[in-house]
Amino acid sequence: MTFEALGARAGALAAAPYRPPADDLPPALAALSYDGYRAITFRPGESLRLGNLFSAQLFHRGFLQRKRVDLFVQPRQGPPRPVAYASRLFDLGPGLAGASFPGDLGFAGFRLHYAFDRARPEAQEEFLVFLGASYFRLRGLGQEYGLSARAAAIGTGLPAPEEFPDFVAHWICEPEEGARAITVLSLLDSPSLAGAYRFVVEPGDPSRIAVSATLHPRRPIERLGLAPLTSMFVHGQNGPGARGADGFDDFRPQVHDSDGLAVETPGDRLWRPLVNGRRAPQVSAFRAEPLKGFGLLQRERSFAAYLDVQARHESRPSLWVEPARDEAAGGAFAAGEIQLFEIPSREEYMDNIVAAFVPREPAAPGRPLALAYGLTTVGAEPAPGMPGHLARVVSTRVGSAERLRPTNPPSPARRLYVVDFEGPGLAGATGIAADVSASAGTMVDPVTEPVPQTGGWRLYVEWRPPAEMPPGDVVLRAHLVRGGAKISETWDAVA
C-alpha cells in the first residue's frame, strides 16, 4: 500500500454511495460499562514489533468504541499483512474472564511505542494513539496526553448535528532498523467525504507529524474544518470575571488541557485566552490569509497553577499546526479563517474546545482537496517549530476596577484587564507602551510596567462598556510597542 494507491481507493470510495459500518458488536461487549471496558488490556508480550525502536499495541472493541477498524502492517517489501484478531491478545478483565470472541471482530484502534532512549531499545514508551472516529493524540518526551487532533471536522458549530468521519483502516509501515520516524497510512470515510492520509511521525522532544492528505467530497460541505484540534478547558485565569461566565467551585486554581488559541498570520500572531461558563456556545473567527500557523496551547506550566497531583495538567502538550510552504502560499490553507468553538461544560472529561482552519471556498464533489501540514508538540515556550520573534501573552486576569471604593456587587460598568507578557526584548527593557482598542466601549488609562519577578511586562487597562451593548461580541485588543515598533503578539479577548 502506498499513499498514491490509497488516494485512488479514497476517490473510488467517494464515487459510491456511503455505506455505514456494520453494528456487529457482540452483546457482551456492547453492554460493557466504562470500568468494564477499561479492565480490558492488551498483553505487552503480544506487541507488534516494528523495526527495533518501534512497536504497536491494539485496542479492543467495546463500550463506546463500537466500530471496527481494519489494521495492516506494511512490510518494507511485499504486500500488506492483515493484523488478525484473537482474544488471547488481551486480558479481558474479570467481567469477561474466560470469554472468547470471533476472529473477524477486528480492533478499535492502536497505539505506537518508541524507544526514546535509543541505547535501550527494549524500554519503549507510548507516544501516539489512534482511537475513536478520526481522533489521534500525540505527546513528546516527558509529556502527558492532553488535547487531540483529528483528520477533519464537518459541520462543527452549525445547527445540525456535527458529522464525525471515521478512520476505517490503517496501514502501519514497517520502518528501517534504527529509523527515527514511522509512517502510518489511513483511510477516512463518512457520509460527506472519503479521504487518504499519510502520517510521517517522528517522536522525541518535541514530537512531530508530517501530514499529507487527499479529501474527496461526496456532497457539498457547508463547513469543513482542516487540521482540527480538540481540547478541554473547564476554568482558568480568564474564568470568573469574564462577562457572562459563571465561576467554578473547585479546590484547583485551574483545570484545562489548553488555555488559549494562537494564530500566526504574516506579520502578526494573535492570542485568544479561552473562557468557559457562558450560557451558550461561543463561536469566533480569525481571518488568516494565508495561514502561517495556529495551535491550542497550554502556556501555564507550573504545578502551583493546577495543584492536581494525578492529572499533571502542567505537563500536557500544546499542538502547533504549520501548513507546508506550498500549502500556505497557494493551497488549501491560502484563504480562509481559523474558527474557535467554546462549548459550555462543567465536566473535565469532556473536550469542549475545537479549533480548525475553514477554507473560504466550500468543499464540493468533483473537487478533490489536497493538503499538507505539520503537527508539533509544544511544551514551555519559546519552543522549536514555533515563531519566536514576538513576546507572548502568558496570563489574562479580569476583575473590578473599583479598587479604592468598591461597591457590592461590583459595577459591571468598570472592568479591569491585567495582561502579562513575556519573551524576547522584555527583560530589562525600558520605554515599552501598549496600543489598545475595543470594538465597542472605551479602553481607559492603559498603564504598562516591568515585572521583575518574571522578566516580563504587565498591562493594566480598564474597559468601560457602552451605554447600550451592541449585538454580537465586543472584542478587546492590545499589543506592546517600543519606539513605534510592535514587539508582542496581539492579545484578543471577548469582553
Mean pLDDT of 416-420: 96
Mean of per-residue pLDDT scores for the chain: 94
- What's the mean pLDDT in 464-493? 94
Is-contact 296 316, C-beta < 8 A? Answer: no
Rounded to 5°, angle at Cα 232 from 189 and 472? 90
The mean per-residue pLDDT over the stretch 89-107 comes to 95
Say what the pLDDT of residue 472 is: 85
**What is the pLDDT at residue 415?**
92
| 457 membership: H or E segment, kind and range | strand 456-464
Least confident of 116-130, 268-282, 320-334, 424-438: 320-334
Residue 372 has pLDDT above 60, yes or no: yes
Q: Per-residue confidence at 266, pLDDT binned at 50, 70, 90?
A: confident
Strand residues in 239-306 grouped as ranges (E): 255-256, 260-265, 268-273, 282-287, 293-297
Q: Name the pLDDT band for 436 (thresholds 50, 70, 90).
A: very high
CA–CA dist 395, 237 (Å, integer): 7
Please compute the mean of the pLDDT values over residues 402-427 and round it to a whole number: 90
Task: Read off the C-alpha cell for 86.
Answer: 484473537
Q: Mean of the pLDDT values across residues 99-118? A: 96
Pairwise CA distance, residues 257 & 493, whole Å: 19
Alpha carbons 91 and 39: distance in angstroms, whole number: 8
Instruction: Give dist(CA 138, CA 134) in Å, integer.
Output: 13
Q: For the chain, what percent of residues have pLDDT higher than 70? A: 99
Grid cell locating 350: 469532556
Measured between alpha carbons, how far is 236 from 259 in angstroms, rounded to an integer? Answer: 7
Give residue 239's pLDDT.
60
Q: Which of 86-95, 141-150, 241-250, 395-404 has the lowest mean pLDDT?
A: 241-250
**pLDDT one-digit tens code per residue, 188-210:** 999 999 999 999 999 999 999 99
Nearest to 48 by CA among 84, 100, 8: 84
* Cell digits of residue 15: 464515487
Average pLDDT over residues 258-287: 93
Residue 285 CB neighbours (<10 A): 12
293 pLDDT more than 60: yes
The tally of CA atoms less than 13 A away on the side-chain side of residue 227 is 32
| Residue, of 384 and 138, whose pLDDT is higher | 138
pLDDT, position 241: 60
Instruction: Compute the distance between CA of residue 493 and CA of residue 495 in angstroms, rounded to an integer.
Output: 6
- Residue 416 clears pLDDT 80, i.e. is over it: yes
Residue 403 pLDDT: 82
Per-residue pLDDT band at 177 (split at 50, 70, 90): very high
Q: How confident is the model at residue 387 (pLDDT cuts 50, 70, 90)?
A: confident
Residues in the chain: 495
**Residue 428 pLDDT more than 80?**
yes
Give the three cell numbers for residue 272. 485568544
| pLDDT recorded at residue 240 | 57
Cα–Cα distance for residue pair 272/299, rounded to 1 Å = 12
pLDDT per position as a tens digit, 304-352: 999 999 999 999 999 999 999 887 767 899 999 999 999 999 999 899 9
* Residue 293, CA distances (Å) to 135, 386, 479, 493 in order: 20, 8, 19, 19
The pLDDT of residue 248 is above 90: no
Percent share of the chain, pLDDT over 90: 87
